[in-house]
Structure 1
Amino acid sequence: MKKILVPVIICISALLNQSQAQQVPDIKTNHITIRRNDTVYTFYTYNRSKKIVPKRDKYYYWYKTQQIIYTHGGYSGQVLDGDYTEFYPNKNLKAKGSFKKGLKTGIWHSWNPNGEFIQITTWKSGEKNGESFEYDSTGHLTSKSMYSNGQLHGPSTTYSSKGVEKTIIYKNGQLVPEKAPKDSSVKKIQ
């Protein structure tokens, strides 16, 4: 009897130790995958007891009745919160980024069906904030811009197959006028 009881006790204690070491899943978010019009979406929704108070000037992304919806200044469903991935029917990536309490945050990538970049943009609290790159259908860079608080701020450069085409400067969303070059041949008359 002792020969059987000792191995049974060892097995039971090993199983108990293993079950205690397993990670408890995060119950603060819900993982959802939906298929709609041959596109697959995988994302998480906010599942915390603290309610989100929407700001009027922000666009919120939320989920309800098998749809992802975005609205200005409000929501009426489960707001997206966490990693977001979207796939084309051919299983290529379409878009990838993150949400925090319904607002885009971090670096967002989007691709065309052939796997070439369309756009790479940095977001903070639902507004473009940082570098933004746009590409043509073959994946060549066509523009690079800087944003701050959702507005163009800094250099904005367009490119062609020959290289840099033009750079203009923005400040708080307004185009900064180019300064006229000084002509040294013109003298001031007093």
Structure 2
Amino acid sequence: MSWTAEQMCQRAAREVLDGYCVGLGYGVAPRVLQRVEAGRQFWWIDGMHVARPCQGGDRPPRQAGEVRLTPMEGLQLVRGGRLDLLFIRAEQVSEQGDLVMTDATGADIDRLAAARRVVVLMQHCRPDGSARIVAQCEGPLLGAGVVSRIITELGVIDVTPRGLLLVELAAGVSLGEISGRTGVALMLMLDDLPGRRNVADAATPG
């Protein structure tokens, strides 16, 4: 078993905190924001840099007020370092947090460079079964060392100075499955995994 696309959106929505300024990269479904906890207030900067105040629990997310920032004001917000969280897709992510994305837009590049925290949403493997999470990315990088967290259908992985840290498994996914489909060793937070002690260990890829 693994998370469905809907469950991945629900898990991603938990990353949005009250008062956050949030961006969605090209191809990331807006329903991520539609799954934000009810009543939670946040700003959404869309692909045209228009910033809208939103409220969790609305489908689709609605304006919480009449205020709306223009594209120029939204761009200034991004470049001024006010973008708290960016959700983005990726073709590959390395253990250093490097990111490859072949169809990025100019807005993606602006926001990726400015975001305080970058969360990648993607399928764990390519259609041919090869790993998307690797020791070193192949091809030109969209960003170097920019990724904070990876959410796939198999679980949640953090990028840390020591390497990749597995922090959550999707329901029904085993440690062997996720390590076998990851192209680099994973460190484990065993206190967060069912039935395991509060110690650190490593799982090597299959």
Normalised-by-shorter TM-score class = under 0.3
TM-score, structure 2 length as denominator? Answer: 0.26
- Higher relative contact order by CA 8 Å / sep ≥ 6: 1 or 2? 2
Pick the structure with more strand per residue. Answer: 1
TM-score, structure 1 length as denominator? Answer: 0.28
Larger Rg: 1
